[in-house]
Amino acid sequence: MSSADIPAPSADDRKARRNVAVLVAAQAILGSQMPMIFTIGGLAGQSLAPNICYATLPISLIVLGSMLSATPLSALMQRYGRRAGFFAGALGGALGGAIGAWGLYVQSFPIFLLGSLLTGVYMSAQGFYRFAAADTASDTFRPKAISYVMAGGLASAVLGPQLVKLTADAYVIPFLGTYAAVIAVNLLGSLLFLFIDIPRPPVPSADAPKGRSRIELLKTPRIAVAVICAMVSYALMNLVMTSTPLAVVGCGFETGDAADVVTAHVLAMFAPSFFTGHLIARFGVEKIVATGLVILAGAGAVGLSGVELEQFFIALVLLGLGWNFGFIGATSMLAGAHRPEERGRMQGLNDLIVFGGVTMASLASGGLMNCSGGTAQAGWTAVNLAMAPFLVLAGGALIWLVLRPKEA
C-alpha cells in the first residue's frame, strides 16, 4: 500500500491522535505496575499462603477485581466520561498497592488478597484505554489508534520488571519496596489524564435509540465470536504467564531470571502493536485473529518441549505475540460491531466476560502449577496442555464466522 492510498487524517483524527499520545503514555507508566505485580504476586503469595496451591490466588484476585469492576467502570465512563473512570482506576491501583504492602508487612495473606482485589480496579480501567482510543477516531484510524495505545505497553514491559529488580529487596521484607513503587506509579501516572480530551457521551433524549439489549448483542454472530476470541486469547496468556515465575524459580533459576522472562514476554505482547493495526487494515481482522491463535498454540508446544531457560524465553515471547494478534484483532472486531448508543453496555459486558474467563484461568494456574504431579516441570506441562481445548473453541468459532453466509 502506497502513501497515496492512505486517507489524510481528518480534524477528528487530529484530536484522536492527541488522545492516543496521552493513552500511550498512561499505558507505559501506569501499565508498568501490571508486569511488576504479575512477576512477584505469585512469589509473594507463595511466601504468605497457608497452602502452596493458593500461591497464585493474589493474581486471581486481581483479575476477579477487574471482572467485578468492568461494568461499574463502563457505566461511570458512559455517564461522566473517560477521565473520571481512569482516575477511579488509578485510585484503585494506589489503594491496592498500599493494602498489599500492609499485608506483606504484617504477614497477612487475607489482607494481601484484599489489596490484590483492589488492584483489579486499575487493571479493568487499563482495559478501557483501547476503547477510549477509538472514541474520537475515524473508521480508518480506529484499528491503528487501538494498536498504538496497546504499543504503549512496550515501555511498561521494560520499566515494570526493572523496577522489580530495584525494589524487590529494598527492605528487609521481600517485595515490600515493589508495592511502595506501585503506589507512586499510580499517583504520578494519573496526572496524565488531565490532558485527555474525549467528550462526555451526550445524555440520550427520551426518544433516542436505546440500542440492542445485552442478550441481543451477544446473539450477534460477529460480536459473539469477537468476545470468545478475546476471552480465549487473554485467558490463555494469563494462564501461562501467571505460572511462569513459579516455574522458572521452581526449575532452579533466579527471581531475576523470572523478571527477564516476563520482560521478554511483555515486550512481545506490545511490540507488534506498532503494525498490528496496519495488518488488520490490509489483511482483515479475521486473518489476524487466526494468526494469533496459531501462535498461541506454538507457545504451548514450546512450553511442552522442556524447561531450559531459553525454552521459557521462546514460549513466553510466542505467548505475547499470540496475545497481541488475537486480543487486538478481537477488540477491533468488536469496536466495529456495535452502535454508539450501545458502547457502554457492550464494552462493559465484553470485559466482564473476558475477565471472567481470565479469572478462571488464573485460579486454575496455581492449582495446575503447584498441585499437578509434585514437581515444577510436571506443573508446567499441565499448564501448557490446558491451552488446547480453548484454542479449539476459539478457532472453531472463528471458522464458523468466516464460513457462514453473509447477511444482507
pLDDT tens column, 326-369: 998 998 888 777 776 677 678 778 878 887 888 888 888 878 88
Residue 202, in any domain of the structure: no
Residue 383, in any domain of the structure: yes
Residue 5, in any domain of the structure: no
DSSP state of 308: S
Q: In this model, does residue 398 exceed pLDDT 90?
A: yes
Q: What is the CATH number of the domain that holds 397?
A: 1.20.1250.20
Quick one: pLDDT at residue 217?
85
Residue 206, in any domain of the structure: no
Quick one: pLDDT at residue 355?
79
CB 132 within 8 A of CB 1: no
CB 398 within 8 A of CB 229: yes
CB 68 within 8 A of CB 127: no
Provide the CB-side half-sphere exposure for 250 (13 A, CA). Answer: 23
Q: In this model, does residue 3 exceed pLDDT 50?
A: no
Q: How far apart are CA 145 and CA 135, in angstroms?
A: 10
Q: In this model, does residue 215 exceed pLDDT 70?
A: yes
Please, which pLDDT band fits residue 407 given cuts at 50, 70 and 90? low
Quick one: pLDDT at residue 204?
63
Average pLDDT across the chain, whole number: 86
Find, among 361, 366, 354, the residue nearest to 123 by Cα: 354
Q: In this model, does residue 174 exceed pLDDT 60?
A: yes
Q: In this model, does residue 391 exceed pLDDT 90?
A: yes
Query: What would the mean pLDDT of 116-122 be, rounded to a whole number?
Result: 94
> The pTM is what?
0.75
Q: In this model, does residue 10 exceed pLDDT 70?
A: no
Neighbours of 230 (CB within 10 A): 26
Q: How far apart are CA 45 and CA 128, in angstroms?
A: 28
Q: Is 106 exposed, middle or buried (0-12, 13-18, 19+ CB in 10 A)?
A: exposed
For the CA atoms of 308, 310, 316, 319, the dihedral, rounded to the nearest 10 degrees, stands at -100
Domain count within the chain: 1
Q: How far apart are CA 196 and CA 66, in angstroms?
A: 23
Residue 47, in any domain of the structure: yes
Percent of the chain whose predicted confidence (pLDDT) is above 90: 43
DSSP state of 265: H
Quick one: pLDDT at residue 348?
74
Residue 77, in any domain of the structure: yes
Grid look-up 508498568 returns 32
Query: What would the mean pLDDT of 105-122 be, rounded to a whole number?
Result: 94
Who wins on pLDDT, 74 or 255?
74
Q: Is 377 exposed, middle or buried (0-12, 13-18, 19+ CB in 10 A)?
A: middle
Q: In this model, does residue 319 exceed pLDDT 80?
A: yes
Find, among 76, 89, 77, 82, the residue nearest to 125 by Cα: 89
Quick one: pLDDT at residue 408?
41
Residue 2, in any domain of the structure: no
Percent of the chain whose predicted confidence (pLDDT) is above 70: 93
Q: At residue 128, what are phi and psi to the nearest 5 degrees? A: -85, -10
Residue 396, in any domain of the structure: yes
One-letter identity of residue 255:
T
92's grid cell: 484503585
Q: In this model, does residue 260 exceed pLDDT 70?
A: yes
CB 359 within 8 A of CB 67: yes
Integer CA distances (angstroms), 23 to 92, 135, 159, 358, in order? 18, 12, 17, 23
One-letter identity of residue 123:
M
Query: What would the mean pLDDT of 224-232 be, rounded to a whole number?
Result: 94
Q: How far apart are CA 348 and CA 194, in angstroms?
A: 23
- Domain extent at residue 109: 12-197+211-403
Quick one: pLDDT at residue 207?
64
Q: In this model, does residue 56 exceed pLDDT 70?
A: yes
Query: What would the mean pLDDT of 29-41 be, rounded to a whole number?
Result: 88
Q: How far apart are CA 249 and CA 312, in angstroms?
A: 11
Q: In this model, does residue 262 exceed pLDDT 60?
A: yes
Query: What would the mean pLDDT of 73-81 be, rounded to a whole number?
Result: 87
Quick one: pLDDT at residue 6?
36
Who wins on pLDDT, 38 or 31?
31
